[in-house]
Amino acid sequence: MSGVDPRAVVSSRARLGQGVCIGPYAVVGDDVELGEGCVVHGHAALEGPSQFGRENQFYPFCCVGSAPQDRKYRGERTRLEAGDRNVFREYVTVNRGTSGGHGVTRIGSDNLILAYAHIAHDCEIGSHTLFVNGATLAGHVTVEDHATVGAFCPVHQFCRIGRYAYVAASTVITQDVLPYSKTVAPRETRSYGVNTIGLEREGFSKERIAAIEKAFRLLLRSRMNTTQAVERMRAELGASEDVAVLLRFIESAERGIVK
């Protein structure tokens, strides 16, 4: 892609640096400033007032620089400011600031913001951060340099995430996260037995399901450890092809199994 595709919509009030590329059906609105070498892929939408540095990339269907999602917002002129080499993947949303939050959302440089992540109004994002798919910041959140916010993590408004912190997937953040720390919600993921209804729908016979259920009882409900349960499963149910599949899966696990 080179230059501005004729099917793109680019405001006469937008400012484009040298080497900016804009794909088909992208929208670049009023008062958007794109630095040299920025790439706006097809169907991306940029709204202003927004200022972006060099070599930022905007992937399809992201919406960056849109109005804040705040009941108090009444159309005041607020801004988004971003540095260089940031990547905004598909369906990312980033809002401008509000008058109650100094009027600006700021993003540093070299940040990777994966699909469906959201950065709300008045956030302050450092540089070299990673937002995994679905990470969600409420308003006025600060994320310092080199921090990682895991997939589907909601962060409460006004919280801070310190530099080099790692927040694991699906962790709800309601207080400040220490620099250099690993933070993770309690993991209560368990296996509750056989997916009987699903197997029946796939045409498994009662005999096949019964063998699988017995294997699961040995694995999950006995007092045996996994190694002992596997030995019993092989001794008592070795003729079942489905149990053989289960055994191969268990024995090839590198990260353990959910029990």
- Taking the C-alpha atoms of residue 164 and residue 144, their distance in angstroms, rounded to an integer, is 8
Could you give the percent of the chain with pLDDT greater than 70?
Answer: 99
Q: Does the residue 247 lie in any domain?
A: yes
- Taking the C-alpha atoms of residue 119 and residue 139, their distance in angstroms, rounded to an integer, is 8
Whole-number mean pLDDT of the chain? 94
Q: Does the residue 133 lie in any domain?
A: yes
- Catalytic positions, please? 121-122, 139
- Residue with structure tokens 């913001």? 113
Is residue 225 located within the same domain as residue 131? no
- Taking the C-alpha atoms of residue 257 and residue 259, their distance in angstroms, rounded to an integer, is 6
Contact call for residues 91 and 108 (beta carbons, < 8 A): no
User: Which of 149, 183, 217 marks a domain boundary?
Assistant: 183
Nearest to 38 by CA among 30, 46, 67: 46
**pLDDT tens, residue by residue, 45-90:** 999 999 999 999 999 999 999 999 999 999 999 999 999 999 999 9
Enter the tokens of residue 186: 């309690």
Is residue 177 located within the same domain as residue 201? no
Question: What confidence score (pLDDT) does residue 2 get?
Answer: 62
Tell me which of 42-51, 115-124, 205-214 is least confident.
Answer: 205-214
> pTM, whole model, 2 decimals?
0.84
Is residue 129 located within the same domain as residue 226? no
Q: How confident is the model at residue 189 (pLDDT cuts 50, 70, 90)?
A: confident
Contact call for residues 110 and 92 (beta carbons, < 8 A): no
CATH code: domain of residue 61: 2.160.10.10
- Residue with structure tokens 């670049």? 28
Is residue 39 located within the same domain as residue 80? yes
Could you give the percent of the chain with pLDDT greater than 90?
Answer: 79
Is residue 25 located within the same domain as residue 142? yes
User: Which of 152, 183, 214 marks a domain boundary?
Assistant: 183
Enter the tokens of residue 94: 């980033």
**pLDDT tens, residue by residue, 142-187:** 999 999 999 999 999 999 999 999 999 999 999 999 888 899 988 7
- Number of folded domains that form the chain: 2
Going by the DSSP 8-state scheme, the letter that residue 4 receives in this structure is B
CATH code: domain of residue 233: 1.20.1180.10
User: What range does the domain containing 217 cover?
Assistant: 196-251
Is residue 201 located within the same domain as residue 134? no
Q: Does the residue 147 lie in any domain?
A: yes
Is residue 67 located within the same domain as residue 102? yes
